[in-house]
Amino acid sequence: MHARNCFKTLLLCLALLAAAGCDRNNDSRPAATDATSNTPLEFRQLRPGIWMHTSYNTFEGVRYPSNGLIIREDDHLVMLDPAWGAEATAALLTRIDEEIGLPVKRAFSTHFHGDRTDGVDVLAEAGIEVMAHPLTLELSAKDGGPAPSTALDGISKPGSAETIGSVEVFYPGPGHAADNITVWVPGEKILYGGCAIRELSTDSLGNTADADLAGWPKAVKRLQARYPDARMVIPGHGAPGGSELLDHMLHLFARRTSGN
């Protein structure tokens, strides 16, 4: 136990030393560890004005990553999903302040599960409006977790979209969850798929406890039809890719149907 604690301390010191030597907005900066919560948080720039944050949670000894995006809009920022949990979200806000130095004006939660909503209370305390599908507010309250503040009534039906600031919020229909939404960044042709999209390396649909397995492939096909020129697709968990991630999703469903 003593050796493990020493090793953790050494890793923390190395992370802090690395952070001190890096320039602001440097996308090569290594993962930082919040000294209070000991919560790992990765933060890197994907494109000018667009950063991806990745936080982690551990279940049954396995550590899982969870992605989100930060988008610059003139003199403020937009957050696509908080980090995974209140501590990680507080650490994310600190990291944004230190590395970007602009306020977060609004945020989106892409469905009601904890990896997308457990940090919304921290955002609300910071005066940040959190928007979501109307079902997300309902399901979050039913689940007993933190709920976003604002329902996007204009995207209640499958295939509906609403432009808010520099992004388009799209509801492809039920999939990973009944309320999963996606966000399109037209300036960079980036599709933030959230948990409706799986990373290319996985051969599993992941957590399907609240999934609509019949509707999910239809939702993916709506995404393909609406965003055929997507250059980058960001899954809710794991590595970003291109439009092949959408093809991969349909392959997973086809394999599931065939039993192979």
Which residues are designated catalytic?
Answer: 111, 113, 115, 176, 207
- The residue behind tokens 């949990």 is 85
What is the C-alpha radius of gyration for the chain, rounded to an integer number of angstroms?
A: 18
- Ramachandran assignment for 88, one of left (phi > 0), alpha (psi -120 to 50 degrees), beta (any other): alpha
d(CA 9, CA 234): 32
d(CA 17, CA 178): 44
d(CA 62, CA 64): 6
Cβ distance 207 to 114 under 8 Å? no
Task: For residue 167, list its beta bridge partners.
Answer: 164
Q: In sequence order, which residues have a C-beta less than 8 Å from that of residue 105 and are 6 or more positions away?
A: 73, 76, 77, 78, 128, 129
d(CA 198, CA 244): 11
Helix (H) or strand (E) holding 128: none
